[in-house]
Every structure is written in structure tokens, then in C-alpha cells.
Amino acid sequence: MSFLIAATEVAAKGESQSIANLLEQGSTVLIVLIALSLFLVAIVFFLYFMLRKEVMLPTNFLAEADRLTAQGDFESLATLCQNNSSASAAVLGAAAEQLHSDAESTYDMIKDAAESEGSHQAGLIHHKLSYVTDISKIAPMIGLLGTVLGMMQAFSGLASDFGAVKPVALADGIAKAMVTTAAGLIVGLAAMFCHSLLRQRASHLIDELEGRCAKTLRKFMKAAK
């Protein structure tokens, strides 16, 4: 039993030392990449919870919007949409506001108002996704910067005196270059993977949003006649 405890302590100590060594080898560049990876995790979780059907197309809101549309109460519908922060509320609110402000609005006018707001909402979603794309591009570049700095450190002594260069110093510089390169690629690849998943999720929800709002727009025209 004591042998297992001792082995566990040695393994834990070795792991902590290896992490410390990696941080030492990576220097400031690795710390920047770690901070960037933490930001990536935070933005991915935020986008994952934002890109949900219940957030973009709330069931209770849509049911109430359908009820007010059937009654032809577009003023109350516009107020309802203003008090809701979902993407569907913004799109339907634009259509309701158009019909409320101009009772003679044609279907094309209402559709244009809804499509304009729909494009705006889609743009906001893609703008948030662009943060993940930026990380996928920036992280490898930061890793490459660490590579250049590491190689400069490794070969800095060669210009002055080749014989005075210590193998340990040369190895440290090359280790720094390799660690930062690997870290930059890992963060960049993770960001690309997350962006692909979130983009597919966003596209599916945007398509569903367009279909649901188009269905309600047709009800608008029936109620307005």
C-alpha cells in the first residue's frame, strides 16, 4: 500500500515538473497561447448556449405571436416583439411594425422588412462566429512567432563564437520553438473544429428561423385582409 502511495506521489510530482518545464520552455508565447485557448473555450460555450432553438425561436413567444396575428392586433404584436430579445422577435417585430405603421402595406413590403431584419440577425450570428475563426488564424501565427524566437535564441551564439555555444542552450532554444509551434497548431485546429460545428448549428437555426417567420408572414396577410 505504501509503495502505491509513493508511486502516485512520484507520478504527480513528475507531471507537475513536466508542466512546469513546458511553461518554462514556452516562455511568454506559451502563456499567450494558453490565455487564447481559455478565451476560445469561453466563446465556444457562449455560442453553444446562444445557438439553441429555445433561444432563437422561443415556443411561448411564437405561440403568443400567432395568437395576436390571428386577431389582427399588430400593435400588441409589435410591443410583444420589442419586449423579447430573440432573433425571431426581431424579425417578426420588423414585419409587425411595417404593417402597423402602414395598413396598406403589401406582402412584398412586409416581406422586405422581415428579410432585412433577418439578414441583420444572421449577420450578428456570423459576426460572433468570426471570433472563433480569428483564433484559428491567430494561434498558429503566435506559435510561429515562438518558433522564430526559439530558433533565434538557439543560434544567437553562433554568430560570435561557434565553439562557445553550449549544447544545453541550443537544446533549450529548439525546445521552445517546438513547444510553441505545437501549442499554436493545437489551439488553431481546435478553433477550426469548433467553428465548423457552430457554423452548421447556426445555418440550421437560421434556415428554421426563416421558415417559421415566413409562415407567420402569410398569417399576417390573411389577418390584414
pLDDT in tens, 74-106: 788 888 888 888 888 888 888 888 777 776 777
Q: Residue 197: pLDDT band by 50, 70, 90 thresholds?
A: very high
Question: In sequence order, which residues have a C-beta less than 8 Å from that of residue 37 and are 6 or more positions away?
Answer: 139, 187, 190
| Rounded Cα–Cα distance for residues 27 and 189 (Å) | 21
Whether the CA torsion 37, 38, 39, 40 is positive or negative: it is positive
Task: State CA 149 to chain mean position distance.
Answer: 30
In 3D space, the residue among 106, 131, 123 whose CA is nearest the CA of residue 45 turns out to be 131
The number of C-alpha atoms within 13 Å of 166 and in the hemisphere containing its C-beta is: 3
Q: Residue 108: pLDDT band by 50, 70, 90 thresholds?
A: confident
| Rounded Cα–Cα distance for residues 189 and 208 (Å) | 29
Are the C-beta atoms of 73 and 224 separated by less than 8 Å? Answer: no
pLDDT of residue 9: 40
Are the C-beta atoms of 114 and 217 separated by less than 8 Å? Answer: yes
Question: In sequence order, which residues have a C-beta less than 8 Å from that of residue 39 and are 6 or more positions away?
Answer: 135
The answer, yes or no, to whether residue 151 has pLDDT greater than 70, is yes
What single-letter DSSP state applies at residue 70? Answer: H
Q: What is the CA radius of gyration of the chain?
A: 28
Q: Residue 4: pLDDT band by 50, 70, 90 thresholds?
A: very low
